[in-house]
């Protein structure tokens, strides 16, 4: 009964927004669904929305394969988004159940273990990030399910359990390549944290590796064999994680990337508790302090339980390797990317809060009045922060997320009007530049792409290059064979600030090579002038 009550926050959001108005807003989910459609239709694992229709070698196939069930059951878009919402929400249900199981194992032997497990699972259940990503087509929640399943199984006795743990880890890798951290962490900790490594430990580590590595090798070999060989930066963004990494991170900016990613990693961790609905240096410092408290609490929890006994050790090893990858990756870590380690971070935060309480509790009853005042003041500050964080979580879960979905629904109405015009008026072979290219493809069947902004520009704070990428957008379209450009005032919202966005909008609207042919609400469809026409318009030298 208690578990059913925990499902209410996510269930109400999923039901009220079962049309998934925020679908494809962050781009990756749109690409997942496009690839899933290709799998369901027998076209193979490819990105059919791109003019080149290359093989999908960036995202592993497990999550799109699961989403392909939606297309098989209901091939009509966007009506099948309701089924997609249900399928994604069921993964969240499974994730909460596995988290509860993990917490019960974590606190086994603790007289308050059941209460702690229920409390931590409740905090996960009201998390706006768990609700949002658990009701939309992102791989983080299914990936977290597989991580938790592997961690739980790996601690059970018997060879079969270790084999099953390895299979779950392999599936985690096929869900997200970040699962390589899990594939490495569990067998390593099966050996490292033992006082005396026995033959049995080697056998268990070997069984795990034998079950997990085929998935790693299989996907790596398939991706290498099918990856499009091209130096085009747009295609690199869509099909090749590794080469795109080296384009954006090198010896010239490695330390800058490391520094900014470390800052964003702590910010992302803390924001899982204190969401970024308010901005400013003091709020950011407080949020990052929560991130530090989470890490400190995880270390303290392991020390309290004993390095060789605590089941948090395996999870911590996975979190450490995952964080190491995020620190050098070409995208700043945010709440979405640290979500798979959220259950561990929550346990760490609760441990650190308990530690602070134990430190300052004697001061509340100290014979010295000044000590009591300081104790009550400190306790009041900590309690206020925690209460505000909890209230903010509830507000976002039951109000803010629904309001945000309503805003996205209104913007989608304008987009759908433009999509209907594109599907009706443009030649079937016309490719379109669009910031939400998977969404445009699913509504219109017109291929195209979006113009990627290199992350290295963000790290360098090079606003000139960010804006400049759109200065010659017409030439870019002609090089890519894109005849039309659909631009909205909501474009660039996921990767630039408002000043850059407005500068880009001005460039687009004043570009003489872009001829507006249709407008609806927030968006305008432009026809890209052919090169010959543009040459005629150029003044004679």
User: How confident is the model at residue 538, as a pLDDT?
Assistant: 46
Whether residues 360 and 430 fall in one domain: no
Give domain status of residue 469, yes or no: yes
Domain of 437, in residue numbers: 426-537
pLDDT digits (tens, 9 = 90+) for 182-219: 999 999 888 876 655 566 778 888 999 999 999 999 99
Q: How many CA atoms lie within 13 A of 402 on its CB side?
A: 13
Q: Where does a domain end: 317, 333, 364? A: 364
Q: Where does a domain end: 330, 364, 398? A: 364
> How many structural domains is the chain composed of?
2
What is the rounded CA–CA span in Å between residue 424 and residue 370?
77
User: How confident is the model at residue 277, as a pLDDT?
Assistant: 79
What is the rounded CA–CA span in Å between residue 370 and residue 374?
6
Give domain status of residue 215, yes or no: no
Q: How confident is the model at residue 535 (pLDDT cuts 50, 70, 90)?
A: very low
Q: What is the token pair recorded at 480?
A: 């890519």
Whether residues 340 and 432 fall in one domain: no
pLDDT digits (tens, 9 = 90+) for 224-280: 999 998 889 999 999 999 999 999 999 999 999 999 999 999 999 999 999 887 778
Mean pLDDT score, 360-383: 69
Whether residues 430 and 329 fall in one domain: no
Give domain status of residue 14, yes or no: no
Neighbours of 391 (CB within 10 A): 10
Quote the pTM value: 0.94
Give domain status of residue 385, yes or no: no
User: How confident is the model at residue 377, as a pLDDT?
Assistant: 72
Q: How confident is the model at residue 179 (pLDDT cuts 50, 70, 90)?
A: very high
Helix, strand, or coil (residue 518)? strand
pLDDT over 90 at 10, yes or no: yes
What is the rounded CA–CA span in Å between residue 496 and residue 458?
8
What average pLDDT is seen over the chain? 91
Mean pLDDT score, 67-88: 97
pLDDT over 90 at 386, yes or no: no
Q: How confident is the model at residue 309 (pLDDT cuts 50, 70, 90)?
A: confident
CB-based contact 237:244 (threshold 8 Å): yes
User: How confident is the model at residue 315, as a pLDDT?
Assistant: 96
Whether residues 349 and 442 fall in one domain: no
Biggest CA pair distance of the chain? 91
pLDDT digits (tens, 9 = 90+) for 26-46: 999 999 999 999 999 999 999
Q: Where does a domain end: 339, 364, 389? A: 364
Q: What does each C-alpha distance from 323 to 241, 320, 333, 347 come to in angstroms?
A: 17, 5, 9, 17
pLDDT digits (tens, 9 = 90+) for 335-357: 999 999 999 999 999 999 888 87
Give domain status of residue 466, yes or no: yes
User: How confident is the model at residue 430, as a pLDDT?
Assistant: 96
From 160, 22, 155, 149, select the one nearest 85 (Cα to Cα): 22
What is the rounded CA–CA span in Å between residue 39 and residue 36?
5
Give domain status of residue 524, yes or no: yes
pLDDT digits (tens, 9 = 90+) for 447-482: 999 999 999 999 999 999 999 999 999 999 999 999
Whether residues 452 and 527 fall in one domain: yes
Tell me what percent of the residues of the chain surpass a pLDDT of 90.
79
Whether residues 286 and 357 fall in one domain: yes
Give domain status of residue 356, yes or no: yes
Whether residues 432 and 333 fall in one domain: no
Mean pLDDT score, 81-101: 97
Whether residues 266 and 358 fall in one domain: yes
User: How confident is the model at residue 311, as a pLDDT?
Assistant: 87
Tell me what percent of the residues of the chain surpass a pLDDT of 70.
94
Give domain status of residue 181, yes or no: no
Q: What does each C-alpha distance from 28 to 135, 139, 327 come to in angstroms?
A: 15, 9, 21
């Amino acid at each position: 009964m208690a578990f059913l009550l925990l499902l209410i926050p996510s269930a109400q959001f999923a039901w009220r927004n079962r049309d998934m108005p925020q679908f494809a807003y962050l781009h990756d989910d749109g690409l997942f669904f496009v690839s899933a459609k290709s799998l369901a239709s027998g076209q193979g694992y490819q990105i059919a929305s791109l003019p080149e229709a290359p093989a999908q070698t960036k995202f592993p196939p497990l999550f799109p394969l699961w989403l392909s069930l939606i297309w098989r059951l209901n091939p009509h878009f966007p009506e099948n988004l309701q089924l997609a919402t249900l399928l994604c929400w069921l993964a969240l249900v499974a994730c909460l159940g596995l988290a509860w199981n993990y917490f019960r194992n974590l606190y086994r032997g603790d007289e308050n273990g059941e209460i702690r497990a229920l409390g931590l699972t409740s905090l996960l259940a009201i998390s706006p990030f768990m609700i949002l990503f658990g009701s939309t087509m992102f791989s983080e929640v299914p990936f977290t399910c597989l991580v938790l399943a592997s961690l739980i199984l790996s601690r059970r006795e018997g060879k079969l359990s270790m084999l099953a743990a390895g299979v779950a880890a392999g599936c985690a890798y096929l869900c997200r390549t970040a699962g390589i951290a899990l594939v490495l962490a569990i067998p390593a900790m099966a050996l490292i944290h033992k006082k005396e490594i026995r033959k049995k430990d080697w056998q268990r580590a070997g069984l795990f590796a034998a079950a997990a590595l085929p998935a790693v090798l299989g996907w790596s070999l398939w991706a290498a064999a099918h990856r499009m060989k091209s130096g085009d930066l747009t295609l690199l963004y869509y099909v090749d994680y590794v080469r795109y990494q080296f384009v954006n991170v090198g010896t010239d900016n490695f330390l800058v990337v490391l520094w900014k990613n470390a800052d964003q990693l702590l910010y992302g961790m803390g924001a899982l508790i204190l969401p970024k609905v308010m901005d400013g240096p003091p709020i950011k410092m407080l949020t990052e302090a929560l991130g530090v408290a989470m890490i400190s609490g995880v270390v303290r929890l392991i020390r309290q339980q004993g390095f060789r006994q605590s089941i948090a050790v395996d999870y911590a090893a996975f979190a450490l390797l995952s964080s190491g990858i995020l620190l050098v990756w070409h995208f700043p870590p945010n709440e979405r990317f640290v979500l798979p380690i959220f259950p561990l971070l929550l346990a760490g935060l609760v441990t650190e809060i308990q530690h602070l309480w134990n430190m300052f509790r004697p001061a509340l009853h100290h014979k010295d009045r000044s000590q009591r005042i300081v104790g009550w003041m400190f306790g009041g500050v900590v309690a206020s922060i925690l209460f505000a964080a909890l209230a903010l979580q509830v507000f976002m879960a039951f109000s803010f997320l629904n309001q945000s979905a309503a805003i996205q629904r209104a913007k989608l109405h304008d987009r759908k009007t433009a999509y209907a015009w594109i599907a009706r008026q443009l030649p079937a072979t016309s490719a379109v530049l669009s910031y939400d290219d998977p969404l445009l493809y699913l509504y219109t069947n017109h291929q195209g792409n979006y113009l990627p902004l290199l992350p290295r520009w963000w790290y360098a704070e090079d606003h000139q290059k960010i804006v400049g990428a759109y200065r010659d957008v017409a030439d870019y379209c002609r090089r890519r064979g894109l005849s039309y450009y659909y631009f909205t005032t909501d474009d660039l919202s996921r990767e630039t600030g408002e000043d850059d966005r407005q500068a880009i909008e001005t460039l687009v609207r004043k570009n003489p090579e872009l001829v507006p042919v249709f407008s609806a609400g927030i968006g305008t469809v432009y026809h890209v002038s052919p090169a010959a026409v543009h040459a005629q318009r150029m003044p004679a030298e």
